[in-house]
Each structure stands twice: as structure tokens, then as C-alpha cells.
A and B are shown apart, each in its own frame.
Chain A
Amino acid sequence: MIGLWSVPLLFALPLALGILSLLVTPAWRPRLIFVGLPLLAVASFDVLARLVVEGPRIYELGGWQAPLGINLVVDGLAVGMILMTTLVASLCALYARVYLRDYPPSSSFFWPLLWLLWAGMNGIWLAEDIFNLYVGLEVMGLAAVGMVALRATPQALAAAMRYLLAALLGSLAYLLGVALLYATYGTLSMAGLHEAAAPNVTTHVALALIILGLLLKTALFPLHAWLPPAHGGALTPVSALLSALVIKASFYILMRIWLVLGPEVTPIFTAQMLGVLGAGAVFYGGWMAWRQHHLKQLVAYSTVAQIGYLFLFFPLVTGTGPEAARLAWDGTLMMLVAHALAKAALFLSAGNLILAVGSTQISHLVGISRFRPMSLFSFGLAGVSLMGLPPSGGFTGKWLLLHSAILSGQWWWLIVLFLGGLLSAAYIFKVFRMSFREGPQIDRSVTPPLTLDVTALILASAAILIGLTAHLPLFWLRLGSAFGAG
């Protein structure tokens, strides 16, 4: 099938570039992005164009049929995730190219790891069978652990080890679940499972294993302990990639499987439990973020909190009417994408602020608003989206979730959204308070290179813009799903 070249390219190209970057000298490694980024961008848009024009489809890799061949799914959700990945990863790569100049040559291993990470993620978004998801999860996970360990300090290594152990445990639980599902239904494809799914014991056990494994990988409260050291202690572009993209992959898988297994298998009780854990994440993460003294730790705990919002998807989509379910889908995806953009922007601008004042402590940011307004502005824009204030993607997502909650009569989630918003305002404005405080009269801060500020600003602006232009993207995201045109 020569026609749909863009689909296999999306994970084959990063894979190839990853291997290539291991073979070239460290000086050449960053330059490969000038080949990779444009090609991946074109491929992503091509896939989107085909989706809009021709509709969702299944793509058979190499023309071989399942079950021995690998099927890929190209529907609204997959394409949306691909575009999000391309945007965020491209900007983080451009950031990293400038940022890593001052780091030792060993940090150039960032580049092979980046490409592998990207390949893994694209593999996950496109996967149509649950085992392929496992492979993608592993590739992505190992690359992510490697990235955390790049900064070779003892804390980073401990964080990487902890991350690795959690990731491995999660993956194995997931694999066992997959094994049980295959044993019960004889198929790995999501379409096949959707048809065959029935509420028997093995399926429930498998679902439980899969949920637990993926919860651990998504760092949902109370299984979140590995995240703050890993995301807070890594190099800035790594933190951005991890919090924005990697953490969403396991959530994506959970979403897919939940919808595939369908309403008969997925009990409402479990859905509500996931929502309650999400609420716990929102409160605990927000509270902990407020109490942090180091900027990147604050942002990392913010990720713990924001992940919680995503888990409101499950109670709002299970056992509710079609309108409420559709709103829940729209809202969750909006929050997912907005968070990816905003969190990447937040980490990158935090990195800029840390570069400027030469310290990771929030209290050292006194008076910085006078000298580094651009970095602070990106931080602020991203913060607006995280707080769910208009006009931003976070606000539109919050609106949709509120609408869904009221419509389905699940009033208790309103409290979560209310308090969550106030908690995030608390920790975002904590940084602002410090920066507006009367500080030194002379500019002793370093000016970050322009690329660093601009990439952060682009991501932050995107987070805002997507809130205002959400209509069409949401429509595209629904193509091929149960909530789509129909």
C-alpha cells in the first residue's frame, strides 16, 4: 500500500533516526532534528488530511493480515495524539538543542533516546491490538528512564531506578492481563475484543491487572511516588516530555481498553473508584505543589494533580447518557491536550527562570518580573490553562467536564473541579507573588537564549488558543469513535 506512506513513517522514521544518531558523532546528533522534524510534521498533517477526507481506517502493516501481521488504527483519537506529540516533541527538541549546549558531551545521548521515545509513542497511538500497546509502552518506558538518568547525579539515578522499577511492575501487570484476555477471547485486536467482550471472571481479573498496571505507570494517586523525583529532577526538556507526553500514553491505553471492553464488562463501581482516586490526586497533588520550595518540584506535583482530572473520564462515561458521555470524552481530551501543551510550556519556562536566577528555589525568584518578563509571561499563560481560567484549553475542558457532570447528575465531581481550580491558583500565584515582590534594582539575572523563551511561549500560546478554537479539533477527535459523527 504505497498510498498511506505517512502511517508507517510515523514510527519508522524516529526509529531510524534513533539508530542513526547513535552512529554519528555527538556534534551531529542535534542536527538530525532538521531532517526529522519537517518530515514528521508533514507525515502528521498527511495523516490528519486523510482522516478528514477519507474517514477513519485500519492500516495493515506491510500488507500482512492479522493476527500475525500488525494492524494500525487511524482514527480521530490516534491522529489527535500524533499531532500533539509532533508539536510538543518538536518544540522540546528545538529547546533541547540550545539548552544542552552547556552540558557535557555525554548528554548528547538525549537525542537517540528522544527518537526512540517518539517512535514508542507513535507506536502506542497507532496500535490496534493490545500487545502492540505493550511493545510501544516498553520502548517508550525504557527510553524515558534513560532520559531521566541522563543527568548523572545520584538523585537522578535514584529517581531513574525508582521510575524503572515502577514501570516494569506496571508493564508486567499489563502483560499478564493481556495474556489472560488472549486466553479467554483468542484475539488481541481491539475490534475483536469489542465484539467478544463478556463479563466473566477472567475478563474482570484481566481488567483489574491492566488497570493496576496502567495506574502505576500514569502515577495516579496513591501510586504516584515515583513521579515527582523523576519529573522534578530531570533535565528541563526531559521533564517537559515526560509530563506532557509520556504520562498520557498509559492513560490513553486505559481509555482505549475501557471503551473497547464496553459497558457490560466495566462496572460502574470501578469507574467511580477511578474518579475518587482522581479526586484524591487533584487534592493531594495540588496541596503538595503548594508546599514545595523548589520550582520544578512544584511543577512535577502539579502533574500529579492534573492527571487526576483526566480520571474523571471514567465515572462520567460509564452508565451515563450519550450526551453526557460525549461531553466527558470531549472534555477529557481537551484537558489532556491542553495539559500537554501547558505543562510542557510550564516546565520549559520554569527551566528558563531557573537559568536566569541560577537557582531552583522559588524564593530566589524575587523581583524577576522586572527583568525576565517573557519567561514569566509564558509561565503565566501556561498557568492560566492549568488553573482552568478562560480563555484557555484548560477552561474549555473544565467547562465540558462540568457540563457532563451536571447532565449525568454526578454533582460531587463539581467540588473536585472547584477545589482543584483554587488549589492550582494557589501554587501558580505563589510563583507570581514572589516574582512581583520588590526585588533587586539591578539586573543580575542571566538572559536565556531567545530560542528557549520562544519555544516556551509558543507552547503556552497554543494552550490558550486551543481553548478558543476547540470546535473543529474536537470534531476531528471524535471521528471513528463511539461518540463520533452519528
Chain B
Amino acid sequence: MSSALVFAWSGVLLFGLGLFGFIAHRHLLRRLLAFNIMGSGSFLVLIGLAQDGRGVDHVPHAMVITGIVVAVASTALALVVFRRWYRASGRTDLPEDT
């Protein structure tokens, strides 16, 4: 198995783990962490598959950088909303399921 595929499959595995955590956990911070793991998994897939025989492809690099920025922004927003929610309701999870 080439290194590209190793990275790619690890990425998929991370994505899967993250997805499981996202759905299974109730605590919002854990779900946020799971989301970040999922994101990292996707980026890993992108980077991994970027290495092909002809050399390094820069486009996935650009995509991943953009993706990281987006993930940071989303996480920041999620944390702000979570903090407000916690202060307003005293809970760390959402009232009903999902």
C-alpha cells in the first residue's frame, strides 16, 4: 500500500471515529472535539491523496488551509454559542436528542 493510501485510509478512519463521537456523545464540548477530529480526518484524506507519482500537488494544500481556517472559525462560533447557552440554561447538552 502506497503512503498516499495509508494517509487516506487513516483519514477515513479518523472521520469515522469522529462521526461516531459526534453522534454518540451528549456533552457539547465533546461533540465539538469530535467534529474537529472529523475535520482532521478529511484534511488527511485530502493531503494523502495529493501525493501522486508526478510530485506534489498544491491544490489540496490550498484546500486544506482553507479548511483549517473554516474549522477554526466554526469552532470559535460553536464555543461562543455554547458558552452563552451554558450561562443561560446551566446545561452542557441540548434538551432533546440530536
Contact = CB atoms under 8 A, between A and B. Distances in A.
B88 A157 contact: yes
A68 B58 contact: yes
Contacts of B95: 158
Interface residues on A, range: 20 to 34
A164 B49 contact: no
Nearest to A146: B77
B74 A168 contact: yes
Given A68-B58, A68-B62, A145 B39 contact: no
A476 B31 CA distance: 45
Nearest to A141: B74
Chain B interface helix/strand/loop/mixed: helix
A149 B84 contact: yes
Chain A interface, DSSP helix/strand/loop, else mixed: helix
B73 A142 contact: yes
**A138, A162, A179, most chain B CB atoms within 10 A:** A179
A358 B41 CA distance: 49
Q: In which size bucket is the chain B interface?
A: 20 to 34
B59 A188 contact: yes
A189 to B, nearest CB: 11
A183 interface: yes
Interface in B41-94: 41-42, 45-46, 49, 58-60, 62-63, 66-67, 70, 73-74, 77-78, 81-82, 84-85, 88-89, 94
A210 to B, nearest CB: 13
B2 interface: no
Nearest to A225: B98
Contacts of A153: 88
A10 to B, nearest CB: 20
Given A164-B74, A182-B63, A183-B49, 15 more contacts: A68-B58, A134-B67, A138-B73, A145-B77, A146-B77, A152-B88, A157-B81, A161-B78, A164-B77, A172-B38, A172-B42, A175-B39, A180-B45, A182-B60, A183-B45
Interface of A: 67-68, 131, 134-135, 138, 142, 145-146, 149, 152-154, 157-158, 160-162, 164-165, 168-169, 171-172, 175-176, 178-180, 182-183, 188, 225
The 4 closest A-B pairs by CB, nearest first: A183-B49, A157-B85, A154-B88, A179-B46
